[in-house]
Amino acid sequence: MKEKELTRARDAMAAQRRRMPWLAVEKEYAFDGPDGRVRLLDLFAGRRQLIVYRAFFEPGVHGWPDHACTGCSLVADQVAHVAHLNARDTTLVFASRAPQPDITRVKERMGWTMPWYTMTDGFDADFGVDEWHGTNAFIRDGHHVFRTYFVDNRGDEAMGGTWSYLDITVLGRQEEWEDSPAGHPQSPPYAWWNWHDEYPAG
């Protein structure tokens, strides 16, 4: 009974998150990626939502240059296949201050496949992750980007699973049972679920 109550309480909290105000991102931010310099808007990869986890991997961090910090590495180890998030119009990326060659090397060593970018400006300080790890959620309306949620410290412990990530976004899981504002996309549960290698491209 108490576990059911906890599940309902989590659902109610996620419903409140979906109604939080959107904060416009007014500055232009730049990141280095595997294919060169990109903007924050580009990190969405054409999708409507973006989740950015700030991972500590840079000079001065324990483990450098062979590893990211132990805690951020533990988070990275837990990340589910991103195809499931992509199927809900959501992109997950990691961001650090390490150069791209170092990120590529460590990703290959650790078997991580999520997109991982290099911050080049004040993105981390502006979004509360310059001195600690944290997860920011964004949504775009055309070319306009809005920050919709932020969690750090122990709030990051739940991150990694598809459902946990979707539950911090404005659009949520986008399933019919959810308490979401009018106009949010929703479809029957189970109907959209698929093997990660059989989702439509996009």
Mean pLDDT of the chain: 96
The 10s digit of each residue's pLDDT in 4-21 is: 999 999 999 999 999 999
Looking at the chain, the whole-number percentage of residues with pLDDT higher than 70 is 100
Q: What angle do CA 71, 77, 78 make, to 5 degrees?
A: 100
Average pLDDT over residues 65-69: 96
What HEC string does the chain produce?
CHHHHHHHHHHHHHHHHCCCCCEECCCCCEEEECCEEEEHHHHCCCCCEEEEEECCCCCCCCCCCCCCCHHHHHHHHHCCCCHHHHCCCEEEEEEECCCHHHHHHHHHHHCCCCCEEEECCCHHHHCCCCCCCEEEEEEEECCEEEEEEEEEHHHHHHECEHHHHHHCCCCCCCECCCCCCCCCCCECCCCCCCCCCCCCCC
Q: Identify which has the larger pLDDT, 157 or 37.
A: 37
| Cβ(175)–Cβ(188) below 8 Å | yes
pLDDT score recorded for residue 154:
87
| Rounded CA separation 1/6 (Å) | 9
Average pLDDT over residues 85-90: 98
- Full set of structural domains in the chain with CATH: 2-167 (3.40.30.10)
Enter the pTM of the model: 0.96
pLDDT at 180 exceeding the cut of 90:
yes
pLDDT score recorded for residue 7:
93
| Rounded CA separation 137/196 (Å) | 23
pLDDT score recorded for residue 131:
83
Lowest mean pLDDT among 36-50, 83-97, 120-134: 120-134
Looking at the chain, the whole-number percentage of residues with pLDDT higher than 90 is 94
> Residue 153: which pLDDT band, with cuts at 50, 70 and 90?
confident
> Residue 156: which pLDDT band, with cuts at 50, 70 and 90?
confident
